[in-house]
Amino acid sequence: MANPIRVSVIRALISISFIIWGIFWFLFGFNFFGELLGGFFMIVGAIFLGYSVRELLRYRRTGEVKRRWDERAALNQLKAARRGFEFLLLVIAVLLILYALQLISDALFVVFTGFVFGIGVAIYLGSYYWYEGRA
């Protein structure tokens, strides 16, 4: 049987990789948006790392793992994913039109795409917790 705390360990490792990636992006990002994206990933990584460490400490203390996933979570994840997808679809379509009309440069298009991706992830996470609080 799989270790019940393995999800928290995997989440902690992913969070650390997010933080490292964010630090690199922040330090070596070639412009303001690169630094912004780096900062975003560092914050997200730090939040999830804190969350995972708390879970691991609770497991050590009580031996219990709090259930994080069920059918309601799956449903809310689907709803949140739809919100994030709709945002990405709309904004990337606008970016492509601007790019096709040569209103934005290649570099700006790449930077905006990364920025939009970050916002899309934030919308997805925010929507998930919003739905979780409602039903």
What does the alpha-carbon distance between residue 88 and residue 1 come to, in Å, rounded to a whole number?
Answer: 39
Residue 35 or 132: the one with the smaller Cβ distance to other proteins is: 132
Residue 1 or 69: the one with the smaller Cβ distance to other proteins is: 69
Q: How far is the CB of 64 from other proteins (least distance, A)?
A: 10
What does the alpha-carbon distance between residue 28 and residue 30 come to, in Å, rounded to a whole number?
Answer: 6
Residue 73 or 125: the one with the smaller Cβ distance to other proteins is: 73
Is 33 in contact with 115 (CB distance < 8 Å)?
yes
What does the alpha-carbon distance between residue 29 and residue 38 come to, in Å, rounded to a whole number?
Answer: 8
What residues make contact with other proteins under the rule CB under 8 A? 66-73, 132, 134-135
Q: How far is the CB of 125 from other proteins (least distance, A)?
A: 18
Q: How far is the CB of 50 from other proteins (least distance, A)?
A: 20
Is 42 in contact with 18 (CB distance < 8 Å)?
yes
